[in-house]
Amino acid sequence: MEWSIQQIAKLTGTTSRALRHYAELGLLAPSRVGVNGYRYYDATALVRLQRILLLRELGLGLTAIAQVLERDTTQQQALQSHLAWLRDEQHRLERQIRSVESTLDALEKGEQPMAEQMFDGFDHTVHKEEVEQRWGAKAYADGDRWWRGMSEQDRAAWKRRSSDLAAAWIVVAESGVTPDSPEAQAVAARHAEWLRSVPGTPADSGDPADLAGYLRGLGEMYVADPRFGANYATARGGAHGAEFVRDALSAYADTLR
């Protein structure tokens, strides 16, 4: 079965112009071109397009997407990895949906919402003691003040940014590049910027040496603590993803002066 370029554009919510641009870049060639010049795409092309659109949603540029698609990873393996991340995100959103539904139900019945049910999937204080032990009470207090001062929209944007970063790490870790490659270092730079945006952390001090030490320490923690390492789990299993992140962050830290 084949689909015309107009049908694909309608199915995906993209444009024929974008699809032609993908072809020009070598990302997505049509399965065939008719005698009338019309472009047609088969099921294999649709799977490739799905991967392209998924990678676009993770914030990867077209050049980086081309490099990912060139790797030896099969389409099935790549989609399995992305599916795992989507399911984790789905689980978190389902918890938040249930908590909001519980609050609405209580309000509609004229009852007081149960506090312990209102913030499932939202709690950022579960690591309070651990943060204070690692980086001090001031670090936690500054971060907590920053978080509580954010609007709901800002918090949602921050969570999306965090999820997108973790997903980008998984993609690059599975792409076959080395931790010191330009692709991995681009994600490491994003990670550093992400950390700099949180008040109270060593990354916020403005001293490159503090940031470098912080990146190396976090990288080791991602490997040592399965709770954090799970954010970077790849299809290979084990600590592969966390180890890749650690090594990439360490390589990035070496460039800081």
pLDDT at 224 over 80: no
Burial of 242: CB neighbours in 10 Å, binned 0-12, 13-18, 19+: buried
- Give the residues across from 40 on adjacent strands: 4, 32
Q: What is the pLDDT of residue 47?
A: 86
User: Where does the pLDDT of residue 190 fall: very low under 50, low under 70, confident under 90, or very high at 90 and above?
Assistant: very high
CATH classification (class only), 3-57: mainly alpha
pLDDT tens-digit readout, 146-184: 656 667 777 777 778 888 888 889 999 988 899 999 999
Q: What is the pLDDT of residue 59?
A: 55
Is 81 in contact with 235 (CB distance < 8 Å)? yes
From residue 234, alpha-carbon distances to 65, 194, 241, 247 in Å are 18, 21, 5, 15
User: Where does the pLDDT of residue 135 fall: very low under 50, low under 70, confident under 90, or very high at 90 and above?
Assistant: very low
CA distance 23 to 26: 5
In whole numbers, what is the pLDDT of the chain averaged over residues?
A: 77
- Give the residues across from 32 on adjacent strands: 40
What lies within 8 Å, CB to CB, of 201 at 6+ separation is 135, 139, 143, 195, 214
pLDDT, mean of residues 88-108: 71
Q: What is the pLDDT of residue 19?
A: 92
The model's pTM: 0.49
For the chain, give the percent of residues with pLDDT over 70: 70
pLDDT tens-digit readout, 16-52: 888 999 999 899 999 999 888 889 999 889 888 888 8
Rounded (10°) angle between helices 152-174 and 75-108:
160
> Which SS3 state, helix, strand or coil, does residue 32 take?
strand
Residue 210 has φ and ψ, to the nearest 5°, of -65, -45
Q: Which residue has the higher pLDDT, 252 or 107?
A: 252
Domain ranges of the chain: 3-57, 75-86+128-254
